[in-house]
Structure 1
Amino acid sequence: MKVVRSARIDTLRGIAVFGILLVNVWGFTYGSGLSRYGLLGEHAALADKLVVFLVAAFAEQKFYPIFAFLFGASFALQTGGRRAPGAQLDRIKMTYRRRLIWLLGCGLLHGTLLWFGDILTVYAVCGFWLVPQAGRRLADIAVSLRWVVALNVAVTLFMAHITYELMTLTPDAIAWGMGDGARAHAVYSQGTLMAIAHERLADFWSNLANAVFFLPKVALLFLMGVFSVRLGWLTHPQRHRALWRKVLLAALWVGVPVNLWWGWAALRDALDPMAGAPVAALVSMLVEVAGPLLAAGYVAALMCASGPVAAALAQWFEAVGRMALTNYLVQSLLCNLLLQGAGLGLGATLSHGALVGVCVLIMIVQVLLSRRWMRFHRHGPVEALWRRFTGSSPEHGMAGR
């Protein structure tokens, strides 16, 4: 089945790739401890404080929802709408399962060798649950959606209990977390190849164990992506401007204030964990909902953008989005080489502001290389391998955290 590309969808995916880099870069340097941004200290430079605030407020929890949403949308684009059971539908499902097997293998390698925060593995696992939705009526998919929403409510209530426990951490527990974070930072930024590999593997398997609480949210975003295509919200945004304007207004009036609060709480936690950790735990719970809401606002802004604005953004980001999986994996490789002890070890000395500067340089290089590559090729390098393995185009299937 041939899938028609959408410049706006590719542009959105390209922007999200860079947003994900802004979030992931801290893990390459500080590990997976309680404080994502490490310890700033009260006398940190204004630029360092500013980048922590801005990344927390406008990037963290904002871009993986976009990719999960687009993953579901790509599933709907590749499998089509309502189909009667039969050989054709069986072939579509079989091809998509091959794609997921490839993605699962890629994710496991990525998580163990490069980046413990890999999201491809989770997307692949959740994708196997999504496959039976192919060819179903929207009314039947809506039943699945209601069950997924109920499961998310149950998980949210459980996480509220965990949040309460985090808010009541004793000073000794917070001090232990700070010490463990400092140890992880030393391993990742100054350790040997074997020490880093051991730390990464432990963090990766810990993340996979915690994914049981993350999968319901991913499933919900997948289904929202399916609906966005089947109902034309994403593929014909000009017909649904009223809907997208409502989403944008909700993001502005609810998503922005809560996420600004989270930016302040994350900064306070980085400056003084003893005082900031309880508040950060509380606000982080709210951001579980407010983050995806602001992400929806980002999607809505691009869907509502005028033709010239969308074309200008596409000039820079469409090629990046067309080879998003390649760019996502290359970002992990570059962060290993530049920041970690087995490479140049810059993570041990760079300030928080300089880390974001590294991200900007990587973005510029990837924009230039992606635009050049896509002038001469239909797919990115990794996407081409994916196509060769599965016998179908992976154009709309990249996902990242």
Structure 2
Amino acid sequence: MATQTPTPSTPTPSALTPSALTTGSRALAPDLARGVMLLLIALANTPWYLYATTTSNSSIHPTDGSTLDRVVQFAIITTVDSRVYPMFAFLFGYGIVQMYQRSLDRGADPQAVRRVLRRRHLWMIAIGFLHAALLWMGDIVGAYGIVGLIFTAAFLQRRDRTLLVWAGVLTGLLTLAATAATVGSVFAAQAPPPAEADGFLAWIKDINGIEFWPASILPRLMVWVFLLTFQGLLSLVIPIAALLAFWAARHRVLDEPERHRRLLTTVAVVGIVVGWGGGGVHALQHVGVLPIPDHVSWVFSTTQPLTGLFGGLGYVALFGLVAAALARRGPTVGPVTTAVTAVGKRSLSAYLAQSVLCAPLLSAWGLGLGAVLGSAGAAALAIGVWLVTLTGCSLLERRGRRGPADWLLRRLAYGRSAGS
């Protein structure tokens, strides 16, 4: 079988409108997962603003703090760091295939759909550039735009087997890199530690300590370009997650979670156990429980992405199971689920809003709270920011309005046909 994507017998280019991509009820699981994911992103990003603290060679988290700070550091390293962006990548890739297949189901021309997707991903790169230049160097919108641009062209119409083979090969390479780094770190631990020097992570964190906002623009863009290429492609995590998402979306794994409950259960259990297990080892080293020298802690820069990939996929599967359980209760959902899914439906707006709120509060060119907060304070601020976006998205949901950034991206991709 050449492809799992249905092709209409009589394509009609005029059918390519935004409604072609949104007609029908939305699957609960992806929106629910995106909504919670935005909370995890806030928790993962705020430690980068703590520019007055010292860091290790393997983590941006402070190397000291109160007992509560250390507990928060342990929890975030174990369950959040390197686990969120694979989750985001999977949901992003899943959404690409959802949009493509819905368009074809309504008789749209496949080439016209791919052109729209191409414009969408190019504009994502542009939005990411502006986001990094103005506020947040760790922008991921541009990285996903790059991946979407390449993978839509290279894999959208490939066979299921091709997707799984590529995902398997890339996972093998990532596993090999993590294994080699682990072995190398054992030998490196026998050597005397090098002279103290500021590491790459410390340099990135210090960008938020620049007091003159115009002077911070170029350093932020330098970091963004690095993340665009390394995190977006070379780390292999996002490509692997996107390939698996393409396959899962074709089989409607999150659209029909009850039908795929056994698969989702297996992925959730294995993924979260591996993800938390690998993250826990790093967390124990960071808080000083495991006697792993800091000068070889760079090994976690390879093991964390690998175990984080498992953890991110486990989280997605878990939300698929939650959605299946909610569906068994009936067609209506409670107010909490409604509010969280409202954030998921407006994920781009909620994501950018985090930077609009956090950067002026925490950066040195703003109020400079990043110089006085510890890990616990930063986590509390992250939760507060997410609750603000939750409130805003809930109000928009009640009024039947899109998020402003989501509306803009839609308008840029479709032109005037995007409507409101």
| TM-score bin, normalised by smaller chain | 0.7 to 0.9
- Contact 2:56–2:63 (8 Å) recurs in 1: no
- Contact 1:95–1:392 (8 Å) recurs in 2: no
The gaps in structure 2 that reach 5 residues or longer are 1-19
TM-score norm. by structure 1 comes to 0.84
State which of 139, 150, 170 in structure 1 corresponds to 2:169: 150
Distance 2:293 2:144 in 1: 36
Alignment partner, residue 399 of structure 1 = none
Counterparts in 2 of 1:15 and 1:33: CA distance versus 1, 3 Å: same
Q: How far is the alpha carbon of 1:105 from its aligned partner?
A: 0.7
Distance 1:332 1:372 in 2: 20
Alignment partner, residue 338 of structure 2 = 315
**Aligned to 1:268, what secondary structure does the other structure show?**
coil
The gaps in structure 1 that reach 5 residues or longer are 396-401
Q: How far is the alpha carbon of 1:27 from its aligned partner?
A: 2.0
- Contact 1:319–1:371 (8 Å) recurs in 2: yes
The CA RMSD over aligned residues, in Å, is 3.3
Alignment partner, residue 263 of structure 2 = 243
Fraction of identical pairs, as percent? 25
Distance 2:205 2:129 in 1: 23
Alignment partner, residue 398 of structure 1 = none
Distance 2:157 2:203 in 1: 50
Distance 1:89 1:378 in 2: 29
Alignment partner, residue 299 of structure 1 = 316
Q: How far is the alpha carbon of 1:148 from its aligned partner?
A: 4.4
Query: In terms of mean alpha carbon deviation, does 29-38 or 203-212 score higher?
Result: 29-38
Counterparts in 2 of 1:253 and 1:187: CA distance versus 1, 3 Å: closer
Alignment partner, residue 147 of structure 2 = 126
TM-score norm. by structure 2 comes to 0.81
State which of 225, 228, 234 in structure 2 corresponds to 1:214: 234
Instruction: Report Cα offsets for 1:89-120 as digits up to 9, x if no partner.
Output: 11111111111111111111112222211112
Counterparts in 2 of 1:54 and 1:136: CA distance versus 1, 3 Å: same
Alignment partner, residue 282 of structure 1 = 299
Q: How far is the alpha carbon of 1:303 from its aligned partner?
A: 1.7
Q: How far is the alpha carbon of 1:190 from its aligned partner?
A: 5.4
- Contact 1:111–1:117 (8 Å) recurs in 2: yes
Q: How far is the alpha carbon of 1:47 from its aligned partner?
A: 0.7
State which of 241, 251, 257 in structure 2 corresponds to 1:231: 251
Distance 1:291 1:281 in 2: 16
Query: In terms of mean alpha carbon deviation, does 225-234 or 206-215 score higher?
Result: 206-215
Alignment partner, residue 373 of structure 1 = 396
Q: How far is the alpha carbon of 1:369 from its aligned partner?
A: 1.1
- Contact 1:8–1:314 (8 Å) recurs in 2: no
Alignment partner, residue 26 of structure 1 = 47
Distance 1:151 1:184 in 2: 28
Alignment partner, residue 341 of structure 1 = 364
Distance 1:68 1:38 in 2: 24
Q: How far is the alpha carbon of 1:22 from its aligned partner?
A: 0.8
Distance 2:374 2:387 in 1: 20
Distance 2:69 2:97 in 1: 42
1:2-401 correspondence runs (5 A) = 2-3=21-22, 4=24, 5-30=26-51, 34-41=57-64, 44-80=65-101, 88-132=109-153, 136=157, 140-154=159-173, 156-158=175-177, 168=188, 173=194, 175-177=196-198, 185=205, 187-189=207-209, 191-211=211-231, 214=234, 216-268=236-288, 275-278=293-296, 280-305=297-322, 306-307=325-326, 311-312=333-334, 313-391=336-414
Q: How far is the alpha carbon of 1:51 from its aligned partner?
A: 0.7
Q: Which amino acid aligns with 2:293?
A: A
Counterparts in 2 of 1:38 and 1:68: CA distance versus 1, 3 Å: closer
Give every structure 1 segment of 4 or more consecutive aligned residues whose post-TM-superposition deviation is greater than 6 Å: 81-84, 163-167, 169-172
Q: How far is the alpha carbon of 1:361 from its aligned partner?
A: 1.1
Q: How far is the alpha carbon of 1:391 from its aligned partner?
A: 1.6
- Contact 2:343–2:390 (8 Å) recurs in 1: yes
Q: How far is the alpha carbon of 1:252 from its aligned partner?
A: 4.7
Q: How far is the alpha carbon of 1:208 from its aligned partner?
A: 3.5
Counterparts in 2 of 1:235 and 1:34: CA distance versus 1, 3 Å: same
Task: Report how many residues are paired.
Answer: 385
Distance 1:34 1:115 in 2: 22
**Aligned to 2:401, what secondary structure does the other structure show?**
coil
Distance 1:390 1:235 in 2: 25
**Aligned to 1:176, what secondary structure does the other structure show?**
coil
Counterparts in 2 of 1:164 and 1:257: CA distance versus 1, 3 Å: closer
Q: How far is the alpha carbon of 1:160 from its aligned partner?
A: 5.2
- Contact 1:148–1:216 (8 Å) recurs in 2: no
Counterparts in 2 of 1:174 and 1:218: CA distance versus 1, 3 Å: farther
